[in-house]
Structure 1
Amino acid sequence: MTKQQTYHLITLGCPKNKVDSDGMEMLLRQAAYVPTEAERHADVLIVNTCGFLEAAKEESIGVLQELGRQKRKNQLLIAAGCLAQRNGDEVLTRVPKVDGLLGTRRWMDVMELIGSLRNGANARARQRYSLLGDPDEHFVAAVPRPPVVGGSAYLKISD
């Protein structure tokens, strides 16, 4: 019997990151990944980073470094969001245990990145395994969104 895969997703920064994190969660759940509150139990750790202000950048790096210190063998650590997009080289230098980068325009490819990393890819091979460019336009509209609970929801104009 195959062990059920788990993930832990940390969202830092602005409401746009919350929208992207919600989308990543939907894709992870569709792929039968189960959320876990305990980072140590997660097969995949994702930090949706913020790099807008210096303080936010340092907070994101700090969270990634702490997860890197605790990281188990075979556990994936992915830096997503605007810090990964804008300062990917710095993230990889300051947090060598980061396995992959996922830019702001490629969050919907989270499962592709996880698959590539599980198949032996490494963040140092950035051109191939860091998804930082623009996505395929036909896919963006097809990404599932979580149902809205309550009277309001965040909407990203850029999607």
Structure 2
Amino acid sequence: MKTPLITREGYNALKEELDQLWRVERPETTRKVAWAASLGDRSENADYQYNKKRLREIDRRVRYLRNCLENLKIVDHSPTQDGKVFFGAWVDIENDDGEQMSFRIVGYDEIFGRKDYISIDSPMARALLKKEVDDEVIVHTPAGEAVWYVNAIRYSQP
């Protein structure tokens, strides 16, 4: 079960994607389908088949985005969060081996295509919530426990 939270930036990005799909890509693909259909035999018409498939993909993504945007709750940064890890925070951590990681805790719908974002539902994010700089964090994962230390917390992009 994913937590229905999203940052303001993530919400705006999903809205832009929806707008791009609905106002630009879908009409263009619909025109291509109509053109390819006018050529006759659709069973061996690669343009028709490809664009019809693309139209189904666009429609599926549009339905998902509309449903998603209706149900997500935007979480904005509050100055009272400063100094502790909450949703939307950029966190720098380090383990005893000197391995360092830096990432932002965001909603599930924001993590795709970003290596520096982790979901609020991940074991790491859950373990980090409400921690402060220099706190020890024990993360329970399927591979076992891992110990990390919080080096920095910020709410603006690095």
Q: What TM-score does the superposition give when structure 2 sets the normalisation length?
A: 0.25
Higher Cα radius of gyration? 2
**Bigger proportion of residues as strand:** 2
